[in-house]
A and B are shown apart, each in its own frame.
Chain A
Amino acid sequence: MALNNAKDTDILLQPVNDNLFHWQGLIKGPPETSFEKGWFKLDFQIDQNYPINPPKAKFITRIFHPNIHFETGEICLDILKPQHWSPAWTLESLCRAIVNLLVNPNADSPLNCDCGNQIRAGDMLAYRTMAYMYTVEFACEESKEEAEMILMQRKLQE
């Protein structure tokens, strides 16, 4: 699939069970954030009208972030809404936008209330500690192994 930019080792995309309407993404926690050590699994559902319609995206790996729902993995990101989506985006550039959201949380439109409140109250230490704790708990084992496996397979193919 040409959809994967082989040079990109922080964003890994592949269809689930060869179904081109269902994709899985693995993104590496961006450096110098509380998510740095983890790999986060994302789920993308694409409908017949993609790329005119945006994909439905959610986190599978649990993450503590103001704009991501702690239970459902729903993401509050403007470009995922039909009125803000542009067909110029790809799944890959969407992943980059999500990585950017991890670097720049926006506490003014929270989906995770507790997390939003910590940031709004200016308690960045509490936010970072919690985010780090959940990264270690949820994003450093299964998803990380899967990502390392994909990267290794790629190297072997080269």
Chain B
Amino acid sequence: MENNSSDQQQQQQDQNSSSQGAGEQGQDQRVTMTQEQLDEFQTQIKLNEDYQNQLKQEIEEQMPFISELTELSVLKHEYQDNKFELCFDQLATRYSKVRRLRRDGNCFYRAFLFQVFEHFIHNPEDPQYEQILKVLVGSKKDLMDLGYDEIAIEDFYDLFLDEFKKLKTIAKAKAAEHLLKLLCNKEEAVYIIMFARFLAACYLKQNAIMFEGFVGDVAQFCMREVEQVDVECDQPQIIAITNYLGLGVEINSVRADGGIEVINLPEEGYSGFRAKLLFVPGHYDALYQ
């Protein structure tokens, strides 16, 4: 009797599972896959990943890491007949040029570092320089206190610090040339941006209580959304890196109604340098007057 009823239950379950969505069925099939099928499945996944990497590379090659100074009207032209087109008229009242960034997941970091470094080449006497230098020197200890292995961070730290110190020696007229070389390659630029990611992660972890409500588990968030190469940057990371370094940003965010929303981080009580950025959903570019 008992057997019978459990058989019925089983039947019921079978019927249920056969009436469920394709995703569920896919999983059920996997239970009965042979090792050969599974290996084939894995090969397909790899081919798919290769294809995506190839696509990514093609996108990359269409655009330099950082463009030369470009008229803002060029951007407006590209957004012709788009809901954001009118935003550029409003933006043009305050800015006239833009440096466009490659859409490789590093656009915020690259644009931010470019403008900050550029500012200090042009203003070597700005007292903020020494303050940031002090923070940078201390950042290795800060990171190690949070549990980072010295060996994992020191190459990034050394290079970033060296390049920051070097800014004072660069001739003003050579600023753009120097920075386009420094931040636009697949070698040292990757290290410099990586260290900027570590600095953001550092602040996020030091102030985990402040961020938990927004990003969930902060350590997990840093692993997934901050410390990976080429992963895009969101507001928590921006708040983190600007606060850690004691710098500011002014983000000009396009609005669907054709306006521009200006977001200052930190919001108030800050009078130092602000990197000026344009934000179109999913992407940052650097703005110039």
Interface residues of A (CB under 8 A from B): 2-3, 51-52, 70, 81-90, 92-93, 110-114, 117, 120-121
Contacts and interface: CB of A to CB of B under 8 A. Distances in A.
Given A82-B229, A84-B228, A88-B198, 15 more contacts: A3-B151, A52-B190, A70-B35, A81-B49, A83-B230, A86-B229, A87-B194, A88-B201, A89-B152, A92-B149, A93-B152, A112-B35, A113-B34, A113-B38, A117-B32
B151 A114 contact: no
B224 to A, nearest CB: 8
Interface string B20-54: 00000000000111110110001000000100010
Contacts of B198: 88
Contacts of A114: 35
Interface of A is mostly: loop
Interface of B: 31-35, 37-38, 42, 49, 53, 148-149, 151-153, 156, 190-191, 194, 198, 201, 223-224, 227-230
A-B CB proximity, top 5 nearest: A86-B227, A113-B35, A113-B38, A88-B227, A90-B152
Contacts of B49: 81
Contact of A86 (B33, B149, B151, B223): B223
A83 B33 CA distance: 27
A93 B229 contact: no
Given A88-B198, A113-B34, A52 B151 contact: no
B136 to A, nearest CB: 18
Nearest to B154: A2
B156 to A, nearest CB: 7
B46 to A, nearest CB: 10
Contacts of A51: 152
Nearest to A108: B27
A112 B30 CA distance: 12
Contacts of B153: 88
Nearest to A72: B39
Contact of B229 (A85, A113, A117): A85
22 contacts: A2-B151, A51-B152, A52-B190, A52-B191, A52-B229, A82-B53, A82-B229, A83-B230, A84-B228, A85-B228, A85-B229, A86-B228, A87-B152, A87-B227, A87-B229, A89-B152, A110-B38, A111-B38, A113-B33, A113-B34, A117-B31, A117-B32
Contacts of B34: 113
B35 A88 contact: no
A120 B31 contact: yes
A88 to B, nearest CB: 5
A72 to B, nearest CB: 9
A82 B53 CA distance: 10
A66 to B, nearest CB: 11
Nearest to A83: B228
Contacts of B149: 90, 92-93
Nearest to B228: A86
A87 B149 CA distance: 11
A134 to B, nearest CB: 15
A120 B191 CA distance: 42
Nearest to B52: A83
Contacts of A93: 149, 152
Nearest to A92: B149
A111 B153 CA distance: 33
Contacts of B156: 87
A70 B153 CA distance: 35
Nearest to A70: B35
